[in-house]
Amino acid sequence: MYSFFFLFVEKIPIERFNWLKACISSIDKRINISNSLEVNFYLTGDALFSLYDLRYQDIWKKLLATNKVKIIIDFWDLKFLGLDQGKMSILSKNQIIFANSNPYGFWNKLINHISVKEWGKDYGFLQMRGPYMSRTTVHLLRALKSALENDLSPELYAYLDGVHIGHDCQRPSEFENIGNGLKKIQELAKKNGKNSQMLACSRCGTARGYIKEEMIDTYHQSDDNIPSFLLCNLNRIIDRFENNHIILSPSAAHVHISPKGITQELKKEVSQKKNPPLLILITHSPYGSEWTFGGLSFAMACASHNIPTDVIFIEDGSYVLMGEHIVHEQDGIFNIQEIIEATADMEFLQYYVYEQSLKNRGISRPVRLEGLKIISTEQLTELLISDHASSTQFQKRIIIF
């Protein structure tokens, strides 16, 4: 049984839908046994526009034609965005589910559907965007709150611009106060006897001025942050990724593979395994933002912790092979191509670039990088479902950078 749970909180690029459709179709053909594939799209926030935007309609129709695809809609956000339920004509009624009309219904449904508790008592969320500029922070609060409602311990891992969410004394005039929202989560967790770890990457925090000291403790409380929002080395965050609990992000997926006839004992044993494999999709150009370097650093750190990590440069991430980068010392930045070539020998790290993304951009003669393989749709599909760890049951985390 292959179960995919895609969570899309932000706008989904059409190109992403196209390769997803191709991969799902490929998986469906391979498996070719009814009820052995289940693909769930959890849509909220700006991702909901894809259900109405004409440019997406053919792709949705083809996806839904498999009968194995379901769309779970955040009904609270659908109404918030003024989207009319009755106008979703392309959707077959038995393939669409409207999560309860309250802010947490969608997130509760996701937790129950993934069976989060079977994977551990914690529920993690990786946040890489800051408050107010991105509404994903509002969804983050809902996800964490619903973890508590479901008797789970919420964990927050703040990375890149995500470290800004823990800034103290936020006083937005028109928006939901994210800092206060995090404090309320902490209070509620304490009241319920749950942990609520909130860890932020110290490299990202130092770059953004949250750490003034030269030396800090392993877990550092910055005067600029809300209490218990702690800055730490990325490795301490990756320690949490060694565990098998469910971790999501605003653009992410959880893949669950379990063979038929698996016993409860074996299911329990495998769900407690360490170091579930990770697939990182790098979808941004190499230097235009911190996404690519952030994704690579994250991947390297995971691989150093013996977490099998595949990195795929896809969509705009494929720009990495457009030409040879000439980065001088005064640029003050690592050469991304050099990083790939120098780290490709790491035992738990593999690099790939998606051929179709190169073709879409007219990159007909990509730069050859040692250790970076160009992959077809078939090979991309294989990476989505491949099992690094076990021949029985496993989960794979997919995070889009």
Partner 1 sequence: MINISEEKIEDYTGLTCTNLMIKLKIKLKKLRNGNRILFFSTREQYDNIRKPFSKKYDFEVSKVDHNKYLISIEKD
- Residues near partner 1 (CB under 8 A) are 202-203, 206, 215, 233-235, 297, 300-301, 304, 334-335, 338-339, 341-343, 346
CB nearer to partner 1: pick between 215 and 326: 215
Q: How far is the CB of 51 from partner 1 (least distance, A)?
A: 39
d(CA 156, CA 184): 14
To the nearest 10°, the Cα dihedral for 118, 277, 30, 92?
Answer: 50
Nearer to partner 1, 86 or 332 (CB): 332
Residue closer to partner 1 by CB (options 99, 237) is 237
At its nearest, how many Å lie between partner 1 and the CB of residue 143?
A: 27
What is the smallest separation between the CB atom of 301 and partner 1, expressed in angstroms? 5
Using an 8 Å Cβ cutoff, are 146 and 104 in contact?
yes
- Closer residue to partner 1 in complex, CB, 193/332: 332
- The nearest distance, CB 129 to partner 1, in angstroms, is 21
- Comparing CA positions, the residue from 174, 164, 107 lying closest to residue 131 is 164
Phi-psi region of 336 (alpha: psi -120 to 50; beta: other; left: phi over 0): alpha
For residue 299 the two structure tokens come to 């991947």
CB 172, min distance to partner 1, A: 31
CA atoms within 13 A on the CB side of 77: 25
Residues 302 and 238 sit within 8 Å (Cβ to Cβ): yes
Place of tokens 């004509």: 89
Closest approach, Cβ 401 to partner 1, in A, equals: 15
Task: Closer to partner 1 by CB, 262 or 333: give it.
Answer: 333
Which one, 147 or 237, has the nearer CB to partner 1?
A: 237
The DSSP 8-state label assigned to residue 274 in this structure reads S
